[in-house]
Amino acid sequence: MKEIRLNAFDMNCVSHQASGLWRHPRDRSDQYHTLQYWTDLARTLERGLFDALFLADVLGIYDVYGASPDAALRNAAQVPVNDPAMLVSAMASVTRNLGFGLTATLSYEHPFPFARRMSTLDHLTQGRIGWNIVTGYLDSAAKSTGKAQQSSHDARYDIADEYMRVVYDLWEGSWEDDAVRRDRASGVFTDPSKVHRIRHDGKYFTVDAIHLSEPSPQRTPVLFQAGASRRGQQFAGTHAECVFIAGPSKEIVRKTVASIRGQALIQGRRSDEPLIFSLLTIVTAPTHEEAWAKYEDYKQYIIPTIVWPDSRGTHRFKNVIHRMQTIL
């Protein structure tokens, strides 16, 4: 019997995937900026035996549609959006088993402070933190951090590969397992001989530092990845323990899964080593008829040109409807 793993999918904002649904009378997403909203969600997911809450994020605003951010702002399409890392400790404090997959973009933060942030969360969650590794996809994010535009697609993954080498060294190589003694009698908290300086002088990053955190329960967090391109799948085959994918049909999902597993083999791993999670939109109700009625109720609030502000919006919206009909 195969074990079923379930991750919830959310974002620290009003409208994550279904822009416009915030207008529904029962929707509470406009309370996203309160702790109770997230601790209530964490308790619900723990009670429902979910494995983890996967938190999306984006550094930037959608400003291509109409050459303006107005549509995104007007409809709360992933803006306003708060830092997802700030939610994790509070949710961990009200749960015991729920994991947290945190999306963090490596393109705009040096690996040294980021490694400390993840070690801190690993300590505070007692080993329940994961990192969804993303390289970014919005020019608005690049401009927000002083760049004229993003690096090219494949170059971003080259940067990501070096970034990973740095954080691996910081998490795994700086502190030995028995470096922290906590010896009150001798007055020695940490044995300096067991803490090592990490030196890295690469194409994109230079580091000469001791990792600031003592070894956390996992050291390296669980690594998620969601790149669908060939280069992204190569990166996932190298680094990812969990891969998040989406597709409008089982056939397309099957091809993506086969490609990712093939990349894992190429990188010297077992083909079944990455756990693969596929996106599903599920509408629940006591009966089939009630589920359909709820779905039709939800659908009338969606604004497809805001969900996908490009020429393919209508087509992609129909694909989602088809997927939901298949589930129902």
Residue pLDDT, tens place only, 221-273: 999 999 888 999 999 999 999 999 998 889 999 999 999 999 999 999 999 99
Q: Per DSSP, what are the bridge partners of residue 99?
A: 52
Q: What is the pLDDT of residue 305?
A: 63
Q: How far apart are CA 126 and CA 96, in angstroms?
A: 9
Terminus-to-terminus CA distance in the chain, angstroms? Answer: 24
Question: Does position 315 have pLDDT exceeding 80, yes or no?
Answer: no
Q: How far apart are CA 172 and CA 34, in angstroms?
A: 35
Q: What is the pLDDT of residue 275?
A: 94
Q: How far apart are CA 199 and CA 210, in angstroms?
A: 9
The pTM of this model reads: 0.90
Token pair 């580091």: residue: 207
The tokens describing 317, both together, are: 């919206």
- For the chain, domains (ranges, CATH) are 7-175+204-327 (3.20.20.30)
pLDDT tens across 173-217, in order?
999 999 999 999 999 999 999 999 999 999 999 999 999 999 999
Q: What is the pLDDT of residue 210?
A: 98
Q: How far apart are CA 273 and CA 264, in angstroms?
A: 8
The tokens describing 169, both together, are: 């060294």
C-alpha atoms less than 13 angstroms from C-alpha of 161 in its C-beta half-sphere: 13
How far CA 61 is from CA of 58, 156, 273, in Å, comes to 8, 19, 35
Say if residues 243 and 276 touch (Cβ distance below 8 Å): yes
